[in-house]
Structure 1
Amino acid sequence: MDLEAVRTFVAVAEAGQFRKAAVDLSITQQAVSKRIAALERDLGVRLFTRTPRGAEPTIDGQAFLPHARELLRVAERAVASVRTGRRPLRVDVINSRGAASGLMRGFHQAHPEVDLNVVMLFDVDTAVAAIRSGTIDASFRAVAAPGRPLPEDIESVRVLDEPLQLLTGPAHALASARSVTLAQLAGHRIWMPGIVPGTEWAAYYDDLVAEFGLTIEATGPNFGSDALLDTIADTPALATFMSEQTRLVWPADHGLRRIPVTDPTPVYPHSLLWHRDNPHPALTTLRSHLATTAAGHDATGTWVPSWVMPR
């Protein structure tokens, strides 16, 4: 059904005249007549009766009028749902407990007027495909892993270098240390069952292991952070890496320790990715917010893999 014909029908019904409806719609009276005639052919009924004062809806026209108005309202809502600036800004934060989620909470507090949809996508390929298709507006990722450059239409900017910390149970040999160096970690078992081959964080830890001679074990099923904390608390031989801004809560009797890692401090590089042609105004607001809140990158005494983009 031609929505312009429906719009014209409603205009005539409300104006009571073809001539006044033509003025209201900024079209000719002949165009109004043609649209009404075409709509009547589609519906198979007469919609108006000509009167000395103009036009009145027939019984069928009266029955159709509320539905015609609803059709126009639905059309307006459909357009508004995708109109730039009217739909929510959709951002991938990978997981709910990490730094990216914290960055978006800070953005929401600073800009409560921006409507947000936060999603969690697993791998960078899925995230990039979603950005390119318009399913999401932006994603937080470490870019770009070896042999996997970003497509030319994807922009990125480094927004946070997040230090790694060592997490141990109370009986671990390093539990009482105020800080540990990467050299001191050589020979200690670091257990990280959440590392999945092919992900950007797997590439990150592969380089960390290769450069500093560490032992990282990704064995066993990943039952989530709660099970990881339980195991670390009860197993003196195991420790794990935990990003500084990861939000976790554990029972007081676990006695877990977060210990800074130094000489150098490994930092995980978070970047914001978006499509260069994305016009959503809230995306510009988000990038400006992150630019004012982000700390410096590549600080003295820190380490990132060589493949991490500096921009």
Structure 2
Amino acid sequence: MRTFVAVADAGQFQKAATDLSITQQAVSKRIAALERDLGVRLFTRAPRGAELTIDGRAFLPHARELLRVAERAVASVRAGRRPLRVDVISSRGAASGLMRDFHGAHPEIDLDVLMLFEIETAVTAIRSGTIDASFRAVAMPGRRLPEDIESARVVDEPLELLTGPGHALAAARSVTLADLVGHRIWMPGIVPGTEWGAYYDDLVAEFGLTIEATGPNFGSDALLDTIADTPALATFMGGHTRLVWPAGHGLRRIPVIDPVPVYPHSLLWHRDNPHPALPTLREHLTATTPGLDAAGTWRPSWVRPR
């Protein structure tokens, strides 16, 4: 196809051969093979060289488009040309905010942001090259990472208590984990077997909390409506989670202390990933995120050190 377009542009087999750095005989063989495949003549010999037939003129714009598609396909996977693909789990969480900051600091890097639910799905996508990196908590009990997957802790996100205006703790400036014993903390988004499920299981076991994951998960808006209207319920949310609710809800975000429970976010990637923007992302996260394992904080024992 490329040879056909070259001959059409040059108007001569010899000139096309020179442009393609091949012999004139090779050009003739390629055109003959293409004509056999198509069952039509594409060129006629003329005193000035090679002229397109009616069929050749009809075929030329399609040939050019095929070459453009081929070039775009190659460019999409060529190192440094395709976007950096990163899984942030959800659009409102801490990882999404980290990637927004990265995009602001490096607008020249093309990004594709995805949201994958299960850690197995994310790891499989990393190993297959479907994505370049994923934000996860690692490594929960019984869920070891494959040897070819690298990870680095990037941020510890403090938990906050979210209450409605009628809750018994709504007026508190902060609450301790001991203060929360006996209160109903409703979190329908906890799914057994997930990394955040393992995190909250350990939090309950460590501090004797009551976390309920009953009922369907209709999303954050429905959760906020319920918390606002139900004085007996509160919920946990990440301190870096971005949520907006109607002013009439009167919701309160209250820091949790003594100790501060933090959710550990790590970046996962394949150790052989060649994307040139991946080291830039790792360096950015290392340089811009606060210190980890601060005094007075709690995280599960299975969380890897930085």
Percent identity over the alignment? 86
* Residue from 114, 117, 121 that aligns with 1:119: 114
Once superposed, what is the RMSD of the aligned Cα atoms?
A: 1.6
Matches within 5 A, 1:240-259: 240-259=235-254
* Residue from 119, 124, 129 that aligns with 1:134: 129
Aligned to 2:234: 239
* Residue from 10, 13, 19 that aligns with 2:14: 19
**AA aligned opposite 1:276:** R
Deviations 1:166-216 (A, max 9, x none): 112222222222212112222222111111101100000000111111111
Aligned mates of 1:55, 1:227 — CA distance in 2? 71
Aligned to 2:25: 30
**AA aligned opposite 1:247:** R
Aligned to 2:205: 210
Specify every segment of 5 or more residues in structure 1 that has no aligned partner in the other structure, as ranges: 1-5
Moved more, 38-47 or 204-213: 38-47
Matched, 1:148 2:143: yes
Aligned to 1:187: 182
Aligned to 2:157: 162
SS in 1 for 2:56: helix
**AA aligned opposite 2:103:** H
Deviations 1:11-48 (A, max 9, x none): 12221222221111111222112211211211222222
Shift of 1:288: 2.0
Matches within 5 A, 1:89-108: 89-108=84-103
Deviations 1:30-89 (A, max 9, x none): 211221121121122222223344322233322222222222112112222222222222
Matched, 1:85 2:80: yes
Aligned residues between the structures = 306
Distance 1:45 1:250, change over 3 A: closer
* Residue from 160, 177, 192 that aligns with 1:197: 192
Shift of 1:104: 1.2
**AA aligned opposite 1:19:** Q
* Residue from 41, 46, 49 that aligns with 2:41: 46
Aligned to 1:270: 265
Aligned mates of 2:213, 2:5 — CA distance in 1? 66
Moved more, 51-60 or 121-130: 51-60
Shift of 1:134: 2.2
Moved more, 91-100 or 219-228: 219-228
**AA aligned opposite 1:59:** I
Distance 1:264 1:40, change over 3 A: same
SS in 2 for 1:21: helix
Distance 1:67 1:236, change over 3 A: closer
Aligned mates of 2:194, 2:217 — CA distance in 1? 15
**AA aligned opposite 1:133:** S
Aligned mates of 2:166, 2:53 — CA distance in 1? 87
**AA aligned opposite 1:307:** W
TM-score (norm 2): 0.94
Aligned to 1:292: 287
Aligned mates of 1:63, 1:122 — CA distance in 2? 49
Aligned mates of 2:11, 2:104 — CA distance in 1? 51
Shift of 1:235: 2.2
* Residue from 282, 293, 301 that aligns with 1:306: 301
